[in-house]
Structure 1
Amino acid sequence: MIPREQPDTPATFKPAAEALLLTAARVRTFVQERHLTNASGFFFARDQRLFLVTSRHVVTDKPSQHFPDRIEIELHTDRDNLGASTWFNLPLYAQSVSLWRDGSDDGGAIDVAVLEIRRDRLPVTAVFEAFGPEHLPSPEDVMPTGASVLIVGFPLGFHDSLHHLPVVRQGIIASAFGLRFQGKGCFITDARTHRGTSGAPVVMSNPSMANTSTGASLPWVLLGIHSSTIDMGTRDVHADESLGLNSAWYSDILMTLTSDHPRVAKESAEKT
């Protein structure tokens, strides 16, 4: 009898794919022990400090009366076994003062929030990847309209429940990148998205980063933070299809919100 050949089972994904998927965090919001909503987020590191980035409306949203007091993020705890994970609690308030950072500009509130994570409080074996300032687009970078982008998140909470990994939706840049769409600090993407994707990173592949020491493991440009789908108030729901468009806030706001001086960061964001 000829032994049946066993298929090769790689222990890990290709480095670039694994790194991108491990930047994303599954987010759940709570009031005490009551689960409210699901969302997406991602990790951003700057000067040895670590932040969770998500949409502002995930942590507070007056129009929908959404006021969680804490969130949980799912963390991998074993690089060799992606099935091992744990939930990590992040309070949103301390002595009735909000712990997240956000900002506004001339166009109004910016739908981005960052929450600092104390590295010394993370599980010792926590496995994740983080974007950094080196992943933000530079002024000379050309991002043509129609260019392909990926949105890495957890639509409707859907994900690989065995390996605790997000899914990726593909889309395109649908507005003039670098310009403030309708006066707001955002651009438009054309991609199929759902509730639960709010806070997901919007990225573009940058193979040239693979040849650099800082971008070798994560050769992606972080273009923005996915916010929500866009609809027209005048649309006839019986006659017209939805636009299928989304807003994403420019990622450069992260340099303001992750400043070493929180008060200065907030004031700067309000002037941006």
Structure 2
Amino acid sequence: MDIDSTAKRLLFSTVRVDTVLDDGSEGSGTAFVLRHAHSRGVSDFVVTNRHLVEGVRRGGLVFTQSQQGRPAFGQRFQLNIDEFPAAWFLHPDPEVDLALVPLSPLRQAAAEQGVELYVEPIDTRLIPDAATWDAFDALEDVLFVGYPSGVWDQVNLMPILRRGTTATPAALDFEGQAQFLIDAAVYPGSSGSPVFIERRGGPAPRREATRDLLFAGVVAAVFFREEANQIVAAPVPANNRGMVVGSEMIDLGLIIKSTAVRELLDSYLRKWQA
């Protein structure tokens, strides 16, 4: 398969996160690779939710290998990170469920084992500017990529592409925070999935290669109906053990806006490149 379209490139923007939690249970989630231009050059980062890296005993990131600049379908490389939680840089606001790790040392660790990683980073230029956020309609099509309930194509190492719509206006900050809701099937393992708003006839795209997709945010939480018929939001668990007994997901996902991802990057760069 030639990687000659936006959708095909998205298949290689995500990284599967496999973890062993402090209670001994196994979990999985989603991370993605982000490319960011800054004053000292261009850097790639792996971004996910902080709740996927905190309270973890062991963790690994699963990549597809590269051969001659092309993806080697099915050739897996799992990079296990010692002291997994300590490797991640967390958003300075503890209420913002985001974390990152630079990709460069991970690439170097793989290269030391004779492996080249194949990734298709999401460019931060796809983060909507203020005018674009304001221009979004109350109902927009969304696309997200990840590993819901740990499901993926294990033979070809492919994530799952899913669609939905915005459920609250993306132009507004839901409950006063930099977030919005989507109407989509969000399950354990979807945490950390990048979310895109797909425009048809909206503002001109930033560059032809990305066509009509704008990087809108990151899956962080799902809404449950509890036995008492109360609706609550909770972080998307890394496994089904994190679900409340007797609860039912109602297909509403909480998305942290990509503007908060930019804040995370800026905070990291201020600390480590000052």
Normalization by structure 2: what TM-score? 0.76
- Aligned counterpart for 1:131 among listed residues 122, 127, 152: 122
Which structure 2 residues correspond to residues 127-166 of structure 1 after superposition, within 5 A?
127-141=118-132, 142-166=135-159
Could you say which residue in structure 2 is the equivalent of 1:19? 9
1:111 to 81, 85, 97: 97
Q: Is the 8 A contact 1:24 1:42 kept in 2?
A: yes
Q: Deviations over 1:18-49 (max 9, x none)?
A: 111110111111369x7721101110112332
| Counterpart secondary structure, 2:10 | helix
Tell me how far apart the structure 2 counterparts of residues 161 and 117 of structure 1 sit (CA, whole Å).
23
Q: Distance in 2 between matches of 1:260 and 1:135?
A: 19
Query: Bigger shift: 11-20 or 182-191?
Result: 11-20
- 1:167 paired with 2:160, answer yes
Give the whole-Å Cα distance in 2 for the aligned partners of 1:135 and 1:41. Answer: 17
What is the match of residue 220 of structure 2?
A: 227
- Residues 40-69 of structure 1: CA deviation (Å, up to 9, x unaligned): 111011233221111111001xxxxx3334
Letter in 1 for 2:48: T
- Partner in structure 2 of residue 30 of structure 1: 20
Where do residues 59-74 of structure 1 align in structure 2 (5 Å cutoff)?
A: 59-60=53-54, 66-74=55-63
Instruction: Render the CA deviation track for 1:121-156: whole Å, top value 9, x for unaligned.
Output: 344531111112211011111222221101101011
Alignment match, 2:72: 81
The letter for the 2-side match of 1:59 is: V
Residue type of the alignment partner of 1:121: A
Aligned position for 1:270:
none
Partner of 1:256: 263
Q: CA deviation at 1:104?
A: 5.3
Q: Structure 1 residues 206 and 14 mapped into 2: Cα distance closer, same or farther (>3 Å)?
A: farther
Structure 2: how far apart are the matches of 1:133 and 1:81? 26
Are 1:100 and 2:100 counterparts?
no
User: Which of 44, 49, 63 is equivalent to 2:43?
Assistant: 49
Q: Name the SS of the counterpart of 2:266 in structure 1.
A: coil
Contact 2:28 2:150 in 1 (8 A): yes
Amino acid at match of 1:161: Q
- Partner Cα separation in structure 2 for residue 104 and residue 232 of structure 1: 31
Q: 1:258 to 1:92 in 2, by over 3 A?
A: farther
Query: Which protein has the bigger strand share?
Result: 2
SS of 2:170 mapped into structure 1:
coil
Give the secondary-structure state (helix, strand or coil) at the position aligned to 2:26.
strand
1:77 is paired with a residue whose SS is strand
**1 CA distance for matches of 2:57 and 2:138?**
37
Q: State whether residues 35 and 45 of structure 2, in contact with CA within 8 Å, keep that contact through their aligned partners in structure 1.
A: yes
- Percentage of identical aligned residues: 22
CA–CA separation in structure 2 for the residues paired with 1:80 and 1:228: 31
SS at 1:161 equivalent: coil
Give the secondary-structure state (helix, strand or coil) at the position aligned to 1:255.
helix
AA partner of residue 98 (structure 2): V
2:237 aligned partner? none
C-alpha contact (below 8 Å) 1:36/1:68 kept by paired residues = no
C-alpha distance in structure 2 between counterparts of 1:175 and 1:218, whole Å: 25
* C-alpha displacement of 1:92: 4.6
Deviations 1:57-95 (A, max 9, x none): 1001xxxxx3334332333333253122211223455xx
Instruction: List runs of 5+ in structure 1 lacking aligned partners.
Output: 1-10, 61-65, 266-272
Q: Structure 2: 5+ residue runs without aligned partners?
A: 232-245
SS in 2 for 1:146: coil
In 2 relative to 1, CA 131–254 (structure 1 residues): closer, same or farther, beyond 3 Å?
Answer: same
Distance 1:261 1:191 in 2: 31
The residue matched to 2:74 in structure 1 has which SS?
A: coil
- Report how far residue 13 of structure 1 moved: 4.8
Structure-2 separation of matches of 1:243 and 1:184: 21
> CA separation in 2, counterparts of 1:111 and 1:203?
18
Matched residue, 2:209: 217
C-alpha RMSD of the superposition: 3.1
CA contact (8 A) 1:30 1:36 kept: yes
